[in-house]
Amino acid sequence: MSKPLDIVFLFDVDNTLIDNDRVQADLRGHLEQTYGVAARDRYWEILEKLRNELGYVDYLGALERFRIETIHCPDVLRMSSWLVDYPFAARLYPDALRAVKHVQKWGTAVILSDGDAVFQPRKVERAGLWHAFDNRVLIYVHKEQELDDVERFYPADHYVLIDDKLRILAAVKKIWGERVTTVFPKQGHYAQDQKILTQLPPADIELAKIGDLLNCDLAAFLKKQ
């Protein structure tokens, strides 16, 4: 009798467990209401430029650069409090935590995210995800380049990667092959970008929303991909 497979479920955060598009909409609204349209647009320009430089969204880094440009406007200093105190738990997708608990019946659930070393961990903590994942949290700059590290921390016979970015799913599938089942919850603006969808191979499993993970049984993740 063969032993059961060791399985690790790797969950992305932004637009996979947390509705990050809504978070960004709230941030835009706050910037406009508090500092004006010009400040909102300038901050977002800096944010996008920094994203291109770093490969991830650095909200606090963008704020530092924005502050240099507005050094004589002390009100800007309070923007950091709005960011770090944001109620991320209220932006979890419906059934996100239930989905995590659902797969924990079969294996270990781990957060695998990209981001900075301050705001992204704070987001995970404020959302209640650090607790939900029993402190199993990995945050990199380019997570698809860190799979050896993922295996070192969480060795397994098989991995299941749940991510809203088809680019990430395709990159990991190319490296791990049949050792990974890729799951694509079609949430957020990246998941709806038709140009991306037509240029990349489909994931092994597509879901309309993260809550649909509750309808998947173990066999769905272990079918020959």
SS (H, E, C) 163-222: CCCHHHHHHHHHHHHHHEEEEEECCHHHHCCHHHHHHCCCCCEEECCHHHHHHCCHHHHH
pLDDT of res. 178: 94
Examine residue 112 and state whether it is found in any structural domain, yes or no.
yes
Taking CA atoms, 188 is separated from 22, 145, 161, 165, 199, in Å, by 9, 23, 17, 9, 18
Q: Over 90: is that where the pLDDT of 152 sits?
A: yes
Residues 49, 12 within the same domain: no
CA–CA dist 15, 31 (Å, integer):
21
pLDDT of res. 190: 80
Query: Greater confidence, 222 or 124?
Result: 124
Answer with the one of 88, 108, 143 that is the final residue of a domain. Answer: 88
Q: Over 80: is that where the pLDDT of 4 sits?
A: no
Residues 15, 116 within the same domain: yes
Examine residue 1 and state whether it is found in any structural domain, yes or no.
no
Residues 37, 125 within the same domain: no
Q: Over 90: is that where the pLDDT of 91 sits?
A: yes
Query: Greater confidence, 221 or 5?
Result: 221
Q: Over 90: is that where the pLDDT of 77 sits?
A: no
Grade residue 1 by pLDDT with cuts at 50, 70 and 90.
Answer: very low
Q: Over 80: is that where the pLDDT of 224 sits?
A: no
CATH of the domain at 36: 1.10.286.50
Residues 68, 101 within the same domain: no
Examine residue 2 and state whether it is found in any structural domain, yes or no.
no
Residues 110, 60 within the same domain: no
Q: Over 90: is that where the pLDDT of 106 sits?
A: yes
Residues 122, 213 within the same domain: yes
Residues 132, 211 within the same domain: yes
Q: Which residues touch 210 (CB under 8 Å, ≥6 apart)?
A: 16, 17, 93, 95, 96, 99, 162, 185, 187
Q: What mean pLDDT do residues 192-219 have?
A: 91
Examine residue 12 and state whether it is found in any structural domain, yes or no.
yes
Percent of the chain with pLDDT over 90: 80
pLDDT (tens digit per residue) in 117-136: 999 999 999 999 999 999 99
Residues 68, 120 within the same domain: no
Query: The domain containing residue 70 runs over which residues?
Result: 21-88
CA–CA dist 224, 222 (Å, integer):
6
Q: What mean pLDDT do residues 86-95 have?
A: 97
pTM score of the predicted model: 0.93
